[in-house]
Chain A
Amino acid sequence: MAHGMKPPSRIGDTMFAGFTFLMAFTVLVLICVVGWQLWAGARLSIGKFGLHFLVSSDWDPGNDVYGALPFIYGTLVSSLLALLIAVPLSVATAIYLTELAPRWLRQPIISLIEMLAAIPSVILGLWGIFVMVPWLRVYVLPWLQHYFGWCPLFRGSTNGSCMLAGGMIIAIMIIPIITSVSREILVSVPDLQREAAYALGATRWEVTRIAVLSYAKRGIFGAIILGLGRALGETMAVTMVIGNTPQIAASLFAPGYTLASVIANEFAEASDVCVQSLFEIGLVLFVVTILVNLLAQMVLKTFAGATVKQ
């Protein structure tokens, strides 16, 4: 019976493959176009300032002299701070929600966290100006200074609008994404893993650590990278609380400035060389984001890869 039939047509599969390839390829083209556009827009600035642009701390639109270093520093430090705050919070929340929380409590907390992601960043920024920054100024910063003032990170005047405030607001914005993705990954850990560990007489902590976390490590790391990507590019809310001063200060209490913020702040009124330099700032942000992501992938390979194979 089967001999007489033609092999089933593969045209659907071919089209499907072609279509998905096209979509994936479009993303690639899009990234290249964005990169090229930024480079084209920044060409004069690149020619004028050269590599000096990356190591100079001057940002002086009055005299048309531009350097990106304080902005690169601000972007990296504020994102790092955000990760330091958000990662323990998010991962712990995700573990609690999948392993420990009573069932009736899970859905309400999940919904609340997802709602946090839906708050527009400008609203978070306003909240930052009127609630978080005064709170930092009156309670948190003086307390930190009193107990940790020996450390240069916590010295200087405590105005409230500072690198720490910027990091905290970014942390709030990336908590939902890290939590949600981590939770999805923990949920997908097969129950067999847990049951096996329990059968060996492991405690709840040991089950989580050995059976669940080591299995989900790679995925959670991926979630953190997603959060980092958002942190690097976050603009509005940070701009509103970070103090917007292009400087490299040891203290987290000093105002800073990020790459994304300076573009948002100055692009509208900028002219000629300043526009070119803002394009170059955009290019730098683009490259920094790609580099950080590549670095994270490499860390992921060396650090998480081994445990998965076990």
Chain B
Amino acid sequence: MNLSKALAILAAGTLASGCAFAQLTMTGAGATFPYPIYSRWFDEYAKVDPTVRFNYQSIGSGGGQKQIVAQTVDFGATDGPMNDASLAKAPGKILHIPMVAGAVVLSYNLPGNPALKLDGPTVANIFLGKITKWNDPAIAGQNPGVKLPESDIIVVHRTDGSGTTYIFTDYLSKVSAEWKTEIGTNTAVRWPAGLGGKGNEGVSGQIQQTPGTFGYIELIYAAQNKMAVAQIKNAAGNYISPSTETVTAALSAADVPEDFRFSITNSTGTGAYPISGVTWLLVYQKQENADKGKKLVEFLRWALTRGADLARALDYAPLPDALRDRVLKRVSEIQSGG
């Protein structure tokens, strides 16, 4: 008797608490480039608002775009803006919400790892396989006083499709006409030279292991592994080291259109790091589920404001104030329900 009573009370209690903590699960999918900061944000946000849980699958930007159009996720994520054709396939208006920007860095493994300075055409020619030796005049000319070995340059690139590759090839297409016509901009391309590594970890692993290598990775991987990183000459003619400040400089110099679809590679800002890229969340302007819509807006506001410090800690550049205010205004236009 007592036992059944106790059980009944327990059951009632469980039910009640179940109601109090009714958890809403928001599903998202897409870009791999911002995955470290997104997962950090979702973890932290669980403490801010325990009633909502985020489930993010970093399946790649292409997948993120497809899934938001197919409405199988609550939000998508992408490192390259969606084109008009893809947007037209969606059943409603999709907003691009820029979240953070990051840098793609060129890392290398040379004896003593001297600081290197390179301009865009040189980088493009190395990746085109036209500059093959470390002591090539094109490299030596920009680095007087640096002792460069006579060895081959072993180019390392990503083999899995990735937003990192998209940002990097977008930059190369802007600084090299030959790259633009021969290879183009994409999440995966036909590499004219070099070895392929899987993921940032695959490429950074190969660079760390193999003397004479040269490859591109995300800033955070270079920073964590203390890898040598080249300064890149920007459009204003200055050699710039990649950092959150120099990426912010690229963001600040950008001319951002109303739909927030823009590119910040090869930025004209004097202190801007040229191989920088923005990453977006993709959300429908009209949210069908009112609860989810409200929660999503709350999260976006939090991430763009309070989340900025978390982004900096992971070597991502938060949006500059002026741009952030414009984005927040757009976020407030998201309609929930009906």
Contact = CB atoms under 8 A, between A and B. Distances in A.
Interface of A: 58-63, 129-130, 133-134, 137, 157, 159-161, 239-240, 243-246, 255, 257, 261, 264-271, 274
Nearest to B206: A161
Given A129-B202, A240-B198, A269 B210 contact: no
Q: Which of A61, A62, A255 has the most chain B CB within a 10 Å cutoff? A: A62
B59 interface: yes
Given A129-B205, A137-B210, A61 B196 contact: no
Contacts of B183: 62
Given A245-B194, A245-B196, A265 B189 contact: no
B189 A129 contact: no
Interface residues of B, number: 34
Interface in B148-202: 152, 154, 159-163, 169, 183-191, 194-198, 202
B291 to A, nearest CB: 30
Contacts of A60: 189-190
Q: Which of A60, A129, A159, A245 has the most chain B CB within a 10 Å cutoff? A: A159
A269 B188 contact: yes
Contact of A130 (B162, B188, B195, B205): B205
B194 A268 contact: no
15 contacts: A60-B190, A61-B161, A129-B206, A157-B154, A159-B210, A161-B206, A245-B196, A257-B159, A265-B160, A265-B161, A266-B159, A266-B161, A268-B59, A270-B161, A270-B187
A134 B205 CA distance: 11
Interface stretch (B60-68, B219-227, B275-283, B311-319): B60-68
Contact of A62 (B160, B186, B209): B186
Q: Which of A239, A244, A261 has the most chain B CB within a 10 Å cutoff? A: A244
Given A243-B195, A268-B161, 11 more contacts: A59-B190, A60-B189, A61-B190, A129-B209, A134-B209, A157-B154, A161-B195, A243-B196, A244-B198, A246-B190, A268-B60
Contacts of B210: 134, 137, 159-160
A62 B166 CA distance: 10
B154 A63 contact: no
4 shortest interchain CB distances as A-B pairs: A269-B161, A244-B196, A62-B184, A268-B60
Contacts of B191: 245
Given A129-B209, A161-B206, A269 B195 contact: no
Contacts of B59: 268
A76 B338 CA distance: 57
